[in-house]
Amino acid sequence: MLGEHVTTDAGTGCVHTAPGHGEDDFYVGQKYGLDVLCPVDDKGVMTSEAPGFEGLFYDAANKPIADSLKEAGALLKLSFFTHSYPHDWRTKKPVIYRATAQWFASIKDFRDELLEAVKETKWVPAWGETRLFNMVRDRGDWCISRQRVWGVPIPVFYAENGEEIITDETIEYVSGLFREYGSNVWFEREAKDLLPQGFTHPGSPNGTFTKETDIMDVWFDSGSSHQAVLLERDDLVRPADLYLEGSDQYRGWFNSSLSTAVAVTGKAPYKGVLSHGFALDGEGRKMSKSIGNVVVPAKVMNQLGADILRLWVASVDYQSDVRVSDAILKQVAEVYRKIRNTFRFLLGNLADFNPATNKVTFENLREVDQFMLVKLNKLVKNVRNAYENYEFAGIYHTINNFCTLDLSSFYLDFAKDVLYIVAKDNNERRAIQTVLYECLLSLTKLVSPILSHTADEVWKFIPAVKEESVQLTDLPEYKEFANAKALEEKWTAFMRLRDDVLKALEEARNEKVIGKSLTAKVTLYVNGKTKALLDSIQENVKQLFIISGFEVAGVYEDAPENAIKLETAAILVTKAEGETCERCWIVTPEVGQDPEHKTLCLRCADVVKENYTHLT
């Protein structure tokens, strides 16, 4: 890896190269003296190279220098202005640039391999490929030395005449010392004790040597991690599946890892790279302890729980900078509450369900139950695909919508009339429980990478699971249903009709025509398409609409003036006739017709007599 000599004017960014070794070498250039004047030392004080101003701090030297120029007649004009100037991020003090000798590593002999490796890598987001490609294409030699008190040493020695000493023999010896004692040995021992026994060099006739005090660029250090991590362990192989870091690492870790790996192996150290933005406060400002706007993860976890913090991470577009605040986290907590309540409902209604004996086959389910399994299956497909492509916000929204809209607002809402009312082993009840069980299993597995603690908590209560933890299971598999397309078309059309009925019910409720939807009767005036749809529905439509009375009275054109005319039907909402059953809350004239149960409808009276004889 060693080769071509380099002389650098580091302050000007100018690099001069001399003939080197083979074209495949990743060479480290020698460090020479500077060709530019730099009359300021590392403390900012003028040196002897600035006669008359030696010993002055650079800022204090400004006025004397101006005065000298004026005395010599060389000062054309003196004026003052305020301008932007680099400042140290920690001390907030201004910084100046000095020309200093540096070590460089050249990439020019394998730049084409680097560019090809960039193309072969999967980048998330996709613009990462263009960013790093352009960076490598336009990049000069890599400055690998830094002037710091401590770090990974650059294993170079200097002879008495100032000549650099870096050979295979010295490198291998220092490497052995590092393996045995760690890199601190470089700072603990003198140069002569870091060289092989009896080492000599023409440039040191007295046998005196010094060692390099510069350290390696930290990105060279971390950029070599693939060598240590992926080659030194038996359970890992190179390349890694994924490198994950912030968007600032295109210039840092992603770049340095690529350079070192391609130099050694000809291939990138990773199959994929994912970069993310940074967390800002609620107003979009960078977090800073001095401002006091830092959101501390430990504090959030103590107040809201780790899963809500994890859910927030999944909910945002991580590819850009994201905002976080107490208000934002509370919104996420509300979504979490809905998901958790969905799990509670599913578990609560599966207490008496044994999948080995009570599960109903897909073919024997009602169409509405089959439709929900098709919807669940589609959720599995979309979420798996989102995980594969690191689209976590898509997972967040997809699962939230399924729990809120498909389950809570539709299926679970009307399912209560079966789950709570009919006999324990009623086929419709077992069919719905079958759907609930499949939803519970799949949802728990799908959220487990994000809501890890909640998923494990739910898993403990799911009937008939064998694994100790949901984390020991795989994501649910996508299934093919022969009638999936037909079911989706039919029931999607029904859901549009249901939405219109709900609108009409809400309007009637606002006008005080009805109270709860179970106190309503809905009369439809429909076109041919809607009539055909309703005729094909075998399920109890009153149950699906959660109303007590239902009638298709005629065609759309015959609807009375007080009917609400919507896209799918003209809808008339009136109060249902009869009394309210105290068990199922349905309003019907049947209440009181059973002599043994005067406050129940006939359905509930039959269920009570057949299943609760001690109450008769």
**CATH number of residue 528's parent domain:** 3.30.2320.20
CA quadruple 350, 352, 354, 360: dihedral positive or negative? negative
Single-letter amino acid code for the residue at 170: T
Cα–Cα distances (Å) from 436 to 345, 370, 381, 391, in that order, read: 9, 12, 18, 27
Identify residue 48 by its one-letter amino acid code: S
Look-up of token digits 């940074």: 278
**Residue of 48, 43, 45, 66 lying closest to 56 (CA atoms):** 45
Distance CA 43, CA 35 (A): 21
Q: Distance between CA 326 and CA 312 in Å, rounded?
A: 11
The CA distance from 485 to 471, in Å, is: 33
Q: Could you tell me the sign of the dihedral formed by the alpha carbons of 377, 382, 383, 389, in that order?
A: positive
* Rounded Cα distance, 434 and 349, in Å: 11
Whether residue 451 is found in the same domain as residue 356: yes
The total of structural domains in the chain comes to 2
The parent domain of residue 523 ranges over 484-576
Give me the CATH number covering residue 392: 1.10.730.10
Co-location of 393 and 450 in the same domain: yes
Q: Among candidates 202, 198, 261, which has minimal Cα distance to 26? A: 261
pLDDT, tens digit, 9 for 90 and up, residues 226-254 = 988 888 778 888 899 999 999 999 999 99
The answer to the question of residue 244 being in a domain is no
Residue 186, in any domain of the structure? no
Q: Look up residue 108 and give its two tokens.
A: 């020019």
Claim to verify: residue 442 and residue 539 sit in the same structural domain: no
Residues 506, 468 share a domain:
no
Helix (H, G, I), strand (E, B) or coil at 246: strand
Render pLDDT for 288-344 as a digit per residue (tens, 0 to 9).
888 888 888 999 999 999 999 999 999 999 999 999 998 999 999 999 999 999 999
CB 382 within 8 A of CB 393: no
- Same structural domain for residues 461 and 538? no
Answer yes or no: do 550 and 435 share one domain.
no
Query: Low-confidence residues of the chain, pLDDT below 70?
Result: 1-35, 613-616
Are residues 456 and 339 located together in one domain of the fold? yes
What is the spatial distance between Cα 104 and Cα 36, in angstroms, rounded to a whole number?
Answer: 18
User: Is 489 in the same domain as 438?
Assistant: no
Q: Is residue 80 part of a domain?
A: no
Q: Is the dihedral of CA 108, 109, 113, 116 positive or negative?
A: positive
How do residues 63-97 score in pLDDT, each as one tens digit?
999 999 999 999 999 998 888 888 888 888 888 88
The answer on 526 and 462 residing in a single domain is: no
pLDDT of residue 336: 97
Q: Does some domain include residue 64?
A: no
Report the C-alpha gap between 191 and 211 in whole angstroms: 5
For residue 210, give both structure tokens.
């010094």
Q: What's the residue count for the chain? A: 616
Helix, strand, coil % (nearest 5) of the chain? 45, 15, 40
| Distance separating alpha carbons of residues 349 and 436, to the nearest angstrom | 8
Contacts of 35-38 spanning 24+ positions with Cβ under 8 A? 35/7, 35/9, 36/9, 36/11, 36/12, 36/99, 37/99, 38/11, 38/98, 38/99, 38/100
Letter string b/e over residues 142-153, b meaning 16 or more CB atoms within 10 A of that residue's CB = bbbbbeeeebbb
- Whether the CB-CB separation of 219 and 185 falls below 8 Å is answered with no
Do 405 and 535 share a domain, yes or no?
no
User: 380 and 493, same structural domain?
Assistant: no
- Of 472, 500, 527, the residue that ends a domain is 472
Max Cα–Cα distance, the chain, nearest Å: 123
pLDDT value for 3:
31
| 409 and 450 together in one domain | yes
In degrees and rounded to multiples of 5, residue 211 shows phi and psi of -115, 155
pLDDT at 15: 31
Q: Which residues pair with 575 in a beta bridge?
A: 520
Give 447-490 as a 3 state SS string. HCCCCHHHHHHHHCCCCCCCCCCHHHCCCCCCCCCCCHHHHHHH
175 part of a folded domain = no
Q: Which of 284, 281, 336, 331 has the alpha carbon at shortest distance from 306?
A: 336
Of the candidates 176, 38, 14, which has an alpha carbon nearest to the alpha carbon of residue 100?
Answer: 38
